Structure 1
Amino acid sequence: MNSAEVHTDDLGESAREEGSLTSLSFIGLVLTQFLGAFNDNLFRWLSVPIAEQVVGQSNAIAIGTVCLTVPFLIFSPMAGWLADRFSKRSVIIAFKVAEIGIMLMAVLSILYGNVTALFSVVFLLGSQSALFGPAKFGSIPEILPTRLLSKGNGIMQLTSILAIGLGTVAGFALYDWARPTLGAGNIQDLSAVSFILIGLAVAGTVSSLVIRTAAAGNSNARLQINPITAMVPPLRAVFSDPRLLKTALGISFFMFLGSLSQQNINPYGELILGLSKSDVGILLGILIAGVGCGSVLAGYWSEGKVELGIVPIGAVGIVVSSFFLVAAGWMYTPDYPPKEQFAYWGSCLGLFLLGSSAGLYDVPLEAYLQFRSDRKNRGMVLAGNYLISYVCIVLSAGVFLLLREVLDVSPLNIFLLGGLITIPVAWYVVFVVPDLTFRFFMWLLTHTVYKLRIFGRENIPEKGPGLIVPNHVSFVDGILMMISSSRMIRFVIYADFTEKPFLRRLGQVMRVIPIDASRGPKELVRSIRIAKDAIKDGELVCIFAEGQLTRTGQMQPFQRGMFKIIQGSDAPIIPVNLHGLWGSIFSWRGGKLFWKWPKKWRYPVDIHFGKPLYDVKDPAVVRQQVEELGAEANLMDMKRQPIPAKRFIRHCKANKGRTKVSDSTKQTLEGGKLLAGSLAFRRVLRREVFSPEDKTVGVLLPPSVGGCLANMALALDKRISVNLNYTLSEDVLNYCVDRAGIRHVLTSRKFLEKKPYTLKNAEFVFLEDLKEKVSAVDKAAGAFGAYVMPTSALEASLGLNSVDPNETLTIVFTSGSTGEPKGVVLSHSNVGANIEAVDHLLNLNDNDALLGVLPFFHSFGYTACMWLPLCYNVRGVYHFNPLDAKIVGRLCQENRATILMATPTFLQMYLRRCDKEQLESLDLIVVGAEKLPEQLAREFEAKFGVLPTEGYGTTELSPVAAVNIPDHRSTDIVQRGTKLGTVGRPLPGVTAKVVDPDTGEDRGIGAEGLLLIKGPNVMQGYLDEPERTAEVLKDGWYCTGDFASIDSEGFVSITGRQSRFSKIGGEMVPHIRIEQELTRICHDCNDEEGEILLAVTAVPDDRKGEKLVVLHRPLHITPEEAIKQLSSTGLPKIWLPSRESFVEVESIPVLGTGKLDLRGIKELALERFCQAELQA
């Protein structure tokens, strides 16, 4: 057996770290950042008007800028050393404490009006910011996981911007309020000023105390005393990695351009737009607000990953918005007030767009710098980045002075120049790195069409190689995979897709790896070699291991070629499940690509990345992991899907004039009338029968139009229906009624005449009586709801929007074949997920008609024969008795039925008693409940021209878990959907595995074991039996009690049932296997009865523990001959029954559902075998 070992070592530190955007640690960091930046800018702009009185406005701003910026040049190396050498939290706290002292000096400098002291304080504030900046921003990746880095940086950027803007406004406001007289030695309300400055510093210190402690990144880091030489290590840290260098230069350009724009706003507003000082402040606030919005938008668009594809959008936006701003300024005329002109409002818009574009440009670069840098020298890298950035800020001040004072360049033309110098940057990111640009444009396009959710992205290795293996559902799978990762992915794709000129160029840009086995072994080897080289180079490679798009909706077998790509490397395989794409216009649903209407705009799609797999040798193991991810995806998607009652309403409204249900009594209802009748019936029941205590209601009706109406009325009224088994004894039926807490049972007098029952603790409600009580108002209300009322309004009026999909929809009692019936609780989502999956696989269309002969008390009848036609494009045709072969055949012929859901017992009967013409319209037959004998399937195909296929399920699985899909139900490109002898593959969104019955360990592919099922179809539990529920439900897996094996293609073969094994001489002997062989041997082609021929059970035996018993109807060969032929099949000798084990009976006990009555068989065997022994 091959098994997949899951490692987490290479997931990266961030995947293992706890932290969220709402964690106390991150909130403390954000608050510390806000208070510090606010206080810095408050004092800076408070000191400018004070200093203006001595040195003039321009010099005051210039000197202030230098004092604030130079410390970043001098102390950035030391700041990086501090962030690496010590805990970043300790560094932050130390400098926040220092800020308190600096603010005390600030108060004293204001008090005495000392300009030199004022600028010294600005210098100290700059020094404090510079020294703890790397520790502050370097803490982000230590607090947040990788998926939140972009959002975290966006929040930090927004916080900084808000603090800068508010601090600037507050500084001027505080000056206007305090109005200091320079050199007078006092200030009005100095105590309030002192309280604000020092209080903010103290508050920032307190907030820093809640930041989480993390170990020092590099406790052995050495400090360079010389500021000049100390600049070398951080610059070397940046220059050593070309990607880090490009990123740092990109950030520095943002700093240069932002500083230039900020300095230019004042003269632009005053000289170009004729604005006052206060109005110029508004323009500055708009620019800052734009940067904040762009930063948040960048974090939102990044969706939990570092998305460099946003950078080209920001760069182009800077160019366009700069030109727009210039155009708005050109439109100004002094003849009208500024605020009445487009020039002003256009400038406001231009500045907002400029700021937004700058935020889009900068945030991904900041996040990538943190993501790309190694934890051990992350502080050095950030320090080097700051060093380069602040050189650019100082440079921008020099450029601004040169342009304004020396060259006398208009402020309008300075914005124009800013746009022009951004063009080369935009060109570089768009054309030199087009893969990033293309990826982000694909992001925008796919998010326009799809509503995308991504889970498990942390399972993608942050660094190093990895082979990504998803299922293949649609033509956009590759695009969705591409935009879901912050790392670039190289795709192995079919070579023909790269032949057209545009696609060839696109393939070169995205560095795809074309492959085509039909072009010969050399080309195949070459493609594999390219993929292997990519893995060796530490890249991510994606291959769709199915080799083709699914045409059936089920996953196809995975090919072994994937292992050649990672051969000789330690690269993991990352399984991925793409959920929700089947049925979209890019899938093969319905046999067509593209040429179908989208079901929804912004189609919901989920992508689930699984944990990395190592040491895998079997592709079926990888397929199993992808299938399990699909089950998890479906479970998570349950609440997003409409409940069956809503599906019923929407489908009936869309098919008002189309026949939906009919039965053998000639009753027929179109969709509109069916909905109207259900609504009217609901009104009558609420008025005449039910009280609020009637949560659970019994239904004792055969499959019919009336049975559908009763069940739909209950579903629309949010009541729990219990379709009672009318083949049970009166005592057992009353047991079910009492167990479910039923007070009323809906039935009809005609039905009770044929099946008389007496209820002990409940009362019958007859449909005939209710029909007389339907008033004209009821009919009108039903018709209004069905034909006039909007769907959303109808659903809201019925209270269906408040229904939790996990609430109970129905209780189905098991057949009781092995004991007393168990109440299986099925939710709305259980039934809804099951019928949706069946519809996906069967490709139901308007021409389909389903012959419903299974009773509604049978889970297969309830889900597949009732809810499926009522919610999807197939008519329901019902008959109350599946044993009436002639009537069933006539009904099929008259209604041109195409689909039949039945059991092997019923098929045997139809094979013998129906004419060929009666069933010739059938296109699909799915059987369950019992094993389908291959011989029966072949005989049925020979007579009626349609091969029955087998499915598998239990009441606890809603009920369908797996099914064979006939090839003609898919498309013109045949993919194997059926394998005789198996029960098919699991439904989409359902997964199966086999385990050791004793240890619970996975048995692997091809091995026999106990079958477990997981998916949205798994029941909520047994009614009021938590202990029994816990026995069969563990971690979402349902233990079926059946033994099975799963082959490499995913087909499930049932080999026996846990309850149908005997332990003889210490060995487990399967009854079903012996039954199959004996049925084949003893089969009589001339048998017209069509009943079950024999059944195998066991009775106690003193010598070997148990003894096999074969109950059989009259055979055409002797038991001795049967045993002789059985021994030649190769079965173990201990599996062979003895001559005395054969006991002839008149008929084999069968339940009303067509399944063997195992308890009845056991009792009959004990009775007959004991009699036989006494007679002997």
Structure 2
Amino acid sequence: MWHVLSVQGVWPYLIAIFLNAFIDLGHKVVIQNTLFKSVEGGAQIALTTLLNALILLPFIVLFMPAGFAASAFARVRVLRAFGWLALGISLAITAAYYAGLFWLALTLTLLLAIQSTFYSAAKYALIKGLFGKQRLAEANGLVQAITIAAILGATLVFTALFEQQIGASVATPGQVLAVVAPLGWLLVAGSLLQVVALYRLSPDQPVQPAGRRQYKRTLSASSMRQSLHRVARQPVLRLCIIGLATFWSVGQVLLATFPAYAKGALGVESTLVLQGILAASGLGIALGSALASHFSKNRLETGLIPIGALGMALGLMCLPFITSAWVQALNFVFLGTMGGLFIVVLNALIQFHAEERELGYVLAVSNAFQHLTMLGFLIVTALMVMAGLDSRYLLVLIAAVALLGGAYTLVKLPQSLVRFVLSFLLTRHYRVSVQGLEHLPSRGGVLLLGNHISWIDWAMVQIACPRPVRFVMLKSVFDRWYLRGFLKALGCIPIERGENAEKALEAVAAQLNAGEVVCLFPEGAISRTGQLGAFRRGYQRACEKANPDVVIVPFYLRGLWGSQFSRSSERLKTLRQAPLHRAVVVAFGEALPKNTPADVLKRRIFDQATRSWHHALEHLDTLSDAWIKSVKRRPKESALIDTARRSLSARQALGESLMLARRLAPLSPQAPLGLLLPLSIDGVLTTMAALTANKTPVHLDPEAADVFKAVLARAHITTIVTSRAYIARLERRGVDVTALLADRQVVYLEELVPGRGERIKTALAIRCLPAWVLIGLYSRARRPGATAAIVFTGDTPERLKGVKLSHRNLMANVKQLSDALNTEHGDAIMASLSPFNAYGLTATQLLPLIEGLPLVCHEEPNDSVGVARALARYRVSVLCTNASFLRRLTQSDDVHPLMLESLRVVVAGGEPVDGELRDAFERKFRKLILEGYGVTEAAPVATVNLPDALDVNYLQVQRGARMGSVGMPLPGTSIKIVDVDNFQERPTDAVGRILISGPQVMQGYLNDEASTAKALKEIDGDIWLVTDDDGYLDADGFLTLVSSATSR
């Protein structure tokens, strides 16, 4: 809801529609109360019916001019013009009140209704442009709630003031109006404020140009018939308009007959009590509208339609049997709530399915039909009253009408009810949000194609899509006796592998040609790696049989990998368990031609993956917050181990880090904090302590003195944290540490040792306090978008660039890597890369800590024998390293193949892996090197090869790796190959410059706006990182490098 309220111009718009409804209802309440006080029995019902008829007639007679105005002119200008008209009418009404001219005041109701006719069409036509297609239901719910609030406010305010002004001596309607005449100034004040609010709205652009000839053509009889035919031939629009007409007609009859029923059956004499009961329905509509807006967040929840229709029928059936005014008021609240659920979604569906150029006409036709139906119901009501039919029987009659309407809705929209049931069941554990709803055509044949990640993908797509969806599924699943009836009712299309598939594809084409939405998962099976598998070409054969106007809409499902319904590892399912709701994103892409080949389709789905991850990670934790939460979930598990035989549990590691963070907090308040530490437990803890203290760490490499000094100068580092033991070791290796640290404040870890009391207090806090309290007490890093670390690239001072990586960048890459590696129980990761390298920082430090995996450290990352011993001793299963280190392992005679036996995954990045090394490593260790690709600016991993996965049921292999390539993009990452001269996308297998997009792409370069502008390029609304590397994508989406920049 808050996203809707933050839309530019929303507040003036809401204030204006509130005031317009307040004015309209205020005058109606005055007239209706006047009749209640001065007229009795059948005459009261007849005059009340006349009052309602005067309000309804303009909507029927003037629907075409109103539609023309809402389409041919800027809608804001139309609202302003008729806002001024409302001010003039309000002044005339006030004069009629003072003169006691009842019939004139009643006639001016007609002018006020004419004003509302044009105002209403423009008001609703503006919603789509103001709020966007994706938030139609939320916006309509808000508008409906505001309108009802105005109706309630007008009812209560004008009735209370009416009762205060009225005396016992008045007898005629004119005398009553003369007594309550000061109420007219309230109408004038509201009209004036409405005009002021409308001038705070920025004018929009007219959909169609206005002209005298077009105006005449619009008002012609043939044009009216065409407009009516255009609406009538669209089933969704037709059903929505009929539903709205039924609701408001029943409401009109209820408003016309209930006062007499309340007076006779309930003994109600006070207008305040009567209007209070009627106002209860308005309160219910506001509540129902708010509920509909909540249930339809980022989507259209059509399942509310049958629920609302049946609920209204139930409430109306109970109404004649209730004798208590208080219980009747509660029943009216229930009726209104069900009605709110009903009408909000119907209004949103009309706006969704109507094209922008015809929206004004469609809304005008809808208004006209609704008001014509209401007028018809009122005429029938008047005739029945004249025939002497008791008001109690009239209420029973409208209950029967509502019951028939609810049954009709249920028959016509069975999928909507199923959709609501699915939504109700699934959204208790899954919070579904929708992106790109504006890309989904509101009519015509649409083939939805996207990734298949879990057993409930179909349910998520149906919840996200406002149109009924027919799913293509395996016949073996469709034919199961306990599913067949349900799936058949949903219109699912069974398909078989082999020769019989053609019949199913013909059925798909037939449904598409009939204008239906069909969903098909081109992978043909649920993913076993979390990545997109190879696409089958069946959808292309179905498209060949389809009409030319059929389109493909790509989509991507994010958030279900790691759920209980996916085929991820049990460990990942444990890691991805959400405390309340799992966030799921359904992202729809722009419509594609039906002849789109599989390779292009796959790239567009990757693009949607990037957008869905951006959306899902908006509220991601900072690195320190995520680590605290991870520790609280697994406090006793092993977290840090080093080859010096020191180990810490997660709880112990967090305690050491939090105490150190308190000491680092005062250091270097403005500039980044330099870290000169080995690849050890102390180094890892200091990194996390700096992040917790809201410092921006810069890991320093002491091997090249000129680069070291250039980094200090470029980052304005004044304070360096190190240890005396590490300094001594560097000096023994011949490094001139004194020169490196000159003119800098040096802080030694040995001087930051906490006392016993602090250790006990911190340990108790970690053991006893919940994660959110620990975060509030210790973590100073509050903004995920803030810079978390600066990593320098370049091997000379001239080529040096500081890459700013935010908490969100690093957290995104951690989550992407964890999803791709499909971490398992018993996994442990080797810290084999120094943290001044982005690959080492993310993959071999942050990943294991935040995902709760043991991290094994060895202070000398180039010591192949020492690392091999650690791999064997601690049964390490994941090794992320580079080709140089793998070559040393392969060439060392002291490294026995059994030392690497525990390795499940060996990932190489940072430099190319040649075929000779790959073959030699596989011969010696019987392990496959899975090559990946990344750049520091992408935090750093962008693509990776994965182990192949076997579907044991169908004995099909999902390819995760392709030798010679650097793999497929990580989840949430997209790769584009372009011509570097014009940035036009290159075709499959064509070499070009590699561009990377994803939530892990850097913030920019430190103090280098020119290089940042060159590296980050916006294409079609997405930010792409322009690398210095060339390569190509094959038909299955694997990236192959052709040339790689040496600076990477």
**Structure 2-normalised TM-score?**
0.88
1:356 Cα deviation from its structure 2 partner:
1.0
In structure 1, the residue matched to 2:714 is 739
Pairing partner for 1:922 from 884, 903, 917:
903
In structure 2, the residue matched to 1:636 is 615
| Residue 539 (str. 1) matches residue 516 (str. 2) | yes
* Number of aligned positions between the proteins: 1018
How many angstroms apart in 1 are the aligned matches of 2:383 and 2:999? 69
Deviation string, structure 1 residues 659-678 (Cα, Å, up to 9, x no partner):
22111211111111111111
| Amino acid in structure 1 at the alignment position of 2:185 | F
Contact 2:36 2:44 in 1 (8 A): yes
Deviation string, structure 1 residues 752-795 (Cα, Å, up to 9, x no partner):
22212111121433333333xx2112212321232222111011
Deviation string, structure 1 residues 1031-1078 (Cα, Å, up to 9, x no partner):
333233223322222211222222222459xxxxxxxxxxxxxxxxxx
How many angstroms apart in 2 are the aligned matches of 1:821 and 1:581? 40
Percent identical: 27
1:432 Cα deviation from its structure 2 partner:
3.5
Contact 2:448 2:553 in 1 (8 A): yes
| Residue 727 (str. 1) matches residue 703 (str. 2) | yes
How many angstroms apart in 2 are the aligned matches of 1:232 and 1:632? 44
Q: Which moved more, 1:252-261 or 1:207-216?
A: 207-216
| Amino acid in structure 1 at the alignment position of 2:682 | G
User: What is the 5 A alignment of 1:645-794?
Assistant: 645-686=624-665, 690-691=666-667, 693=669, 695-729=671-705, 731-756=706-731, 757-758=737-738, 759-771=741-753, 774-794=754-774
Change (3 A) 1:490 1:865: same
User: What is the 5 A alignment of 1:319-468?
Assistant: 319-323=313-317, 329=322, 343=324, 345-372=326-353, 382=363, 385-394=366-375, 396-397=377-378, 409=390, 411=392, 418-468=398-448
| Residue 882 (str. 1) matches residue 875 (str. 2) | no
Pairing partner for 1:548 from 525, 528, 540:
525
1:552 Cα deviation from its structure 2 partner:
0.7
| Amino acid in structure 2 at the alignment position of 1:712 | M
Deviation string, structure 1 residues 515-561 (Cα, Å, up to 9, x no partner):
2223x2xx222222222223323333322222222111111232333
Contact 1:178 1:187 in 2 (8 A): no
In structure 1, the residue matched to 2:734 is none
Contact 2:571 2:823 in 1 (8 A): no
Deviation string, structure 1 residues 74-122 (Cα, Å, up to 9, x no partner):
7723442453377485776666555556555544544444444444444
Change (3 A) 1:439 1:593: farther
Contact 1:88 1:138 in 2 (8 A): no
Change (3 A) 1:953 1:452: same
Deviation string, structure 1 residues 850-879 (Cα, Å, up to 9, x no partner):
222322222222222222221224211121
How many angstroms apart in 2 are the aligned matches of 1:752 and 1:125? 86
Q: Secondary structure at the match of 2:964?
A: coil
In structure 2, the residue matched to 1:528 is 505
Contact 2:655 2:762 in 1 (8 A): yes
1:383 Cα deviation from its structure 2 partner:
5.3
In structure 2, the residue matched to 1:1130 is none
Q: Secondary structure at the match of 2:526?
A: coil
Change (3 A) 1:915 1:817: farther
| Residue 291 (str. 1) matches residue 273 (str. 2) | no
Contact 1:925 1:947 in 2 (8 A): yes
Pairing partner for 2:1014 from 1017, 1025, 1031:
1031
Pairing partner for 2:811 from 817, 821, 832:
832
How many angstroms apart in 2 are the aligned matches of 1:288 and 1:898? 63
| Amino acid in structure 2 at the alignment position of 1:899 | V
Q: Secondary structure at the match of 1:640?
A: coil
In structure 2, the residue matched to 1:1148 is none
Pairing partner for 2:64 from 48, 61, 80:
80
How many angstroms apart in 2 are the aligned matches of 1:250 and 1:234? 19
Contact 2:829 2:879 in 1 (8 A): yes
How many angstroms apart in 2 are the aligned matches of 1:78 and 1:285? 29
| Amino acid in structure 2 at the alignment position of 1:702 | P
| Amino acid in structure 2 at the alignment position of 1:982 | S
In structure 2, the residue matched to 1:301 is 295
| Residue 317 (str. 1) matches residue 311 (str. 2) | yes
Q: Secondary structure at the match of 1:755?
A: helix
1:309 Cα deviation from its structure 2 partner:
2.9
How many angstroms apart in 1 are the aligned matches of 2:683 and 2:194? 70
| Residue 195 (str. 1) matches residue 175 (str. 2) | no
Contact 2:585 2:612 in 1 (8 A): yes
In structure 2, the residue matched to 1:252 is 245
In structure 2, the residue matched to 1:978 is 961
Change (3 A) 1:819 1:379: closer
Stretches of structure 2 that go unaligned for 5 or more consecutive residues are 732-736
In structure 1, the residue matched to 2:917 is 936
Contact 2:63 2:368 in 1 (8 A): no
How many angstroms apart in 1 are the aligned matches of 2:999 and 2:292? 35
Change (3 A) 1:942 1:365: same
Q: Which moved more, 1:113-122 or 1:909-918?
A: 113-122
Pairing partner for 2:999 from 1007, 1016, 1021:
1016
| Amino acid in structure 2 at the alignment position of 1:462 | S
Change (3 A) 1:307 1:80: farther
Change (3 A) 1:999 1:863: same
Q: Which moved more, 1:398-407 or 1:900-909?
A: 398-407
Pairing partner for 2:25 from 41, 55, 74:
41
How many angstroms apart in 2 are the aligned matches of 1:654 and 1:371? 44
Pairing partner for 2:606 from 614, 620, 627:
627
After superposition, the CA RMSD in angstroms is 3.7
1:287 Cα deviation from its structure 2 partner:
1.4
Change (3 A) 1:670 1:247: closer
In structure 2, the residue matched to 1:1007 is 990
Change (3 A) 1:435 1:745: same
How many angstroms apart in 2 are the aligned matches of 1:94 and 1:744? 66
1:355 Cα deviation from its structure 2 partner:
0.9
How many angstroms apart in 2 are the aligned matches of 1:670 and 1:381? 66
In structure 2, the residue matched to 1:956 is 937
1:163 Cα deviation from its structure 2 partner:
3.7
How many angstroms apart in 2 are the aligned matches of 1:637 and 1:246? 35
| Residue 966 (str. 1) matches residue 958 (str. 2) | no
How many angstroms apart in 2 are the aligned matches of 1:127 and 1:1031? 58
| Amino acid in structure 2 at the alignment position of 1:1032 | A
In structure 2, the residue matched to 1:335 is none
Q: Secondary structure at the match of 1:448?
A: coil
Q: Secondary structure at the match of 2:685?
A: helix
Deviation string, structure 1 residues 1000-1031 (Cα, Å, up to 9, x no partner):
33222212222222222222233222223333
How many angstroms apart in 2 are the aligned matches of 1:936 and 1:374? 60
Change (3 A) 1:115 1:225: farther
How many angstroms apart in 1 are the aligned matches of 2:907 and 2:1032? 21
Q: Secondary structure at the match of 1:366?
A: helix
Q: Which moved more, 1:847-856 or 1:40-49?
A: 40-49
| Amino acid in structure 2 at the alignment position of 1:748 | S
Pairing partner for 2:490 from 486, 510, 518:
510
| Amino acid in structure 1 at the alignment position of 2:836 | F
| Residue 864 (str. 1) matches residue 808 (str. 2) | no
Pairing partner for 2:593 from 604, 610, 614:
614
Deviation string, structure 1 residues 231-269 (Cα, Å, up to 9, x no partner):
988766665555544433322221232123334543555
Change (3 A) 1:434 1:908: same
Deviation string, structure 1 residues 1135-1169 (Cα, Å, up to 9, x no partner):
xxxxxxxxxxxxxxxxxxxx9xxxxxxxxxxxxxx
| Amino acid in structure 1 at the alignment position of 2:537 | R
Change (3 A) 1:563 1:206: same
How many angstroms apart in 2 are the aligned matches of 1:711 and 1:203? 58
Q: Which moved more, 1:349-358 or 1:480-489?
A: 480-489
Instruction: Give the number of the structure whose alpha-carbon radius of gyration is greater.
Output: 1
Deviation string, structure 1 residues 438-484 (Cα, Å, up to 9, x no partner):
22332333332222222221111223233222222222222222222
